[in-house]
Amino acid sequence: MIARSRDCRLPTVMFVDSIDDPNLLEAGSRTVLRDLIGGLVPRGFRCLAVVRGEGRFPSTLRSLGAEVIPLRAPRGLPLYRRIGDSAVPSPEGFLSQAFLAPRAVSYWQDLFQDVRPDVVYIAHPLAHVLAGLGAWRASVPAVLHLQGIPQSSHRLKLMLPLYRGLCDLSGATIVAISRAVADAYGGPPGRRPRVIPNGVDTNRFHPNPPIPGRIPFPEGTPVVGWVGSLDVLKGVQHLPALVREVRQRVPAARFLVLGAEPHEDRGLAPTHSEAHPSPLLRSVLGALDEAGDLPAVAFLGRRPDVPELLRGMSVLVHLCQQEGFGLAVAEAGATGIPAVAYATGGPAEVIDPGATGLLIPPQAGIQGMADGVVGLLEDPDRRRRMGDAAVVHVRRHYSREAFLQAFADLFLEMVGPDRQRAKEA
């Protein structure tokens, strides 16, 4: 067992990650966790990470300076399962989680009492409840990080009042990644989540000439990019219609798709593997093939060289209407690539409409998205001006440094004045 918290100069923060797959690096919550640990350890924070299993993710956290604790909380069945293109509640999953909840809360209480971190950071909705209540019973302050819109699609839509009530019962500090997420969570004015926007690592995402041969299209080709999960929540089912609309007006246009199908990070029972696409992705590929557009779309999967690939794009398209933040939109902007997104959720906050990208009314649908994309493809000067403005906008409002500073200040605030004075002495 890890040693108890030392009387170090800055707080000890325990990060709770409840994703089952220890090799998955690309989940958005894990990107945030890596950024936090990678930024807080050099500042003098002691970072502990509770992770299930051994693999690439815990190894990465250790390389960043975190001490890893094996997660041994009881594990129930997934709360949701896929039927066709939809994610629906699983009665068996909810029953199993309810049955195991008392044991899980006790597990977290015992762990927090044994290690005694100064602050606990919790990333996922189910853990918000179980680990949050454990922290409350252990008298350890906790931060519940809301990284998605609670009412979106299957996510807690019917369970929101109970979820919010249990989170509030824990007395934890609620942090949302955008005003849209905070508004969706709701609650009385005194318990509204505070907003800390996600940050972009501008040391990686910055303008640079594209690397010749990096993307699978000839130089000078107008390229529309997609970065994100190939999931119904992200709107991948609408990709064939968008490709058809755009290519009818700009036949030379090509599409570059970065991302893969989601895994357990969405709380879904896995129904496929990378080698065996889900029915949803098969239908997308079939529709593209039937329309003759499949050769114009390159699916590259998950890639570590996203910044370099972004620089080869002309414009980024974002089809999700229930996006909590839209990190891909911000990363594209930092790279000098304007985005076209729906005027909802986080992207409506990240994009300065008409200046750094385009926001499309949801009722305009795919036709509106195609109009926006085509307009930018046909006007390189406007596209360049938007890209330049996006770089300045992201650096000013969504820098990784500002994100890290906000969390560092929050954790210091939560340790209490007596502990702060001891640390400052």
**Nearest residue to 252 (alpha-carbon basis) of 275, 225, 221:** 221
Fold of 12-199+399-424: Rossmann fold (3.40.50)
pLDDT band per the 50, 70, 90 thresholds, residue 188? confident
User: Out of 61-75, 90-104, 272-286, 385-399, which region has the weakest mean confidence (pLDDT)?
Assistant: 272-286
What distance separates the 2 farthest-apart alpha carbons in the chain?
Answer: 70
Specify the pLDDT at position 306: 93
Using a pLDDT cut of 90, give the percent of the chain over it. 64
365-377 vs 239-249: helix crossing angle, rounded to 10: 40
Write the pLDDT tens digit of every residue in 326-373: 999 999 999 999 999 999 999 999 999 999 999 999 999 999 999 999
Give yes or no on whether 12-199+399-424 and 223-397 have one common fold: yes
The first and second tokens of residue 176, run together, are 């949302």
Q: In terms of DSSP H, where are the helices of 64-143?
A: 91-115, 125-137
The first and second tokens of residue 237, run together, are 């089912």
Query: What is the Cα 164 distance to its own chain's centre?
Result: 20
Q: Which comes out higher in pLDDT, residue 391 or 149? A: 391
By residue count, the chain amounts to: 425
Specify the pLDDT at position 2: 44
Write the pLDDT tens digit of every residue in 7-36: 456 899 999 998 888 888 777 888 899 999
Write the pLDDT tens digit of every residue in 33-66: 999 999 999 999 999 999 999 999 999 999 999 9
Specify the pLDDT at position 80: 67
User: Out of 8-12, 29-33, 109-113, 155-159, which region has the weakest mean confidence (pLDDT)?
Assistant: 155-159
pTM of the model: 0.86
pLDDT band per the 50, 70, 90 thresholds, residue 267? very low
For the domain spanning 223-397, the CATH number is 3.40.50.2000
User: Out of 5-9, 18-22, 202-206, 274-278, which region has the weakest mean confidence (pLDDT)?
Assistant: 5-9
pLDDT band per the 50, 70, 90 thresholds, residue 417? low
Specify the pLDDT at position 153: 47
Amino acid at 136: W
Amino acid at 308: E
Write the pLDDT tens digit of every residue in 366-378: 999 999 999 999 9
| d(C-alpha 252, C-alpha 277), whole Å | 28
Backbone angles phi, psi at 405, to 5 degrees: -65, -40
Other residues' Cβ atoms within 10 Å of the Cβ of residue 274: 10
The first and second tokens of residue 190, run together, are 């005194």
- Give, for 283, the enclosing helix (H) or strand (E): helix 279-290
Specify the pLDDT at position 229: 87
Domain ranges of the chain: 12-199+399-424, 223-397
The residue whose two tokens read 């972009």 is 200
Specify the pLDDT at position 424: 46
Indicate the SS3 state at residue 201.
Answer: coil
Mean pLDDT of all residues in 177-199: 89
